[in-house]
A and B are shown apart, each in its own frame.
Chain A
């Protein structure tokens, strides 16, 4: 059974940094590209970032380019999202998702990040 479990600090002040983690189990992690997607309260889904299965390539949405960074540690079956200079509009549930090809086969349950002073 595939499980993706996100974790990270819940409340952070504007301008600060935090790192989200997503631990995967039940799948051959090295074969999957990993994504981060967020959902602001009561809103739709926004794709944020991807790291390819081999960690060679990354790509970001314009809304987070230059502030967020995605990375992976295959020895721990974990993908990370480093969030710098956070803003109130970054408040959302953050999901990680695994993609064997392009579409998102598996999703975590998400972790809520609140940016507030």
Chain B
């Protein structure tokens, strides 16, 4: 089974500053035949279901603000929020869909 490990577990960032969340997979998520990384990012605000932010590691879902960006390839990935807004307080999860489906443990993002 592919294990997804996020870091840090929690993060406090000042409004307007950059937030960076890392996600590492136990095996490569890059499918060489199509050069796509089978990784998504989700945002879960308190009391709400998760919401898709990013897929194929770096493609922003329609309607997601462009301050959110995804990067990385193979086994190491990053979700960045360029200028933190109050409404970005949430838990963020990475997910692999290369082999079955696995989520990271989540990263709780708060305002400093």
Q: Do A and B share a complex?
A: yes
Contacts of A106 in B (CB 8 A): 52
Q: By the criterion CB–CB under 8 Å, are B100 and A59 in contact? A: yes
A61 vs B93: C-alpha distance in the bound complex, in angstroms?
A: 18
Q: By the criterion CB–CB under 8 Å, are A104 and B103 in contact? A: no
B interface bracket (residues with beta carbon within 8 Å of A): 20 to 34
Q: By the criterion CB–CB under 8 Å, are A108 and B49 in contact? A: yes
B68 proximal to A (CB < 8 A): no
Taking a contact as CB atoms closer than 8 A, the residue among A61, A62, A105, A110 that contacts B49 in the complex is: A110
A residues adjacent to B (C-beta < 8 A): 35, 37, 44-47, 50, 59, 61-62, 95, 102-110
A45 in contact with B52 given A102-B38, A103-B95 (CB within 8 Å): no
Contacts of B105 in A (CB 8 A): 44
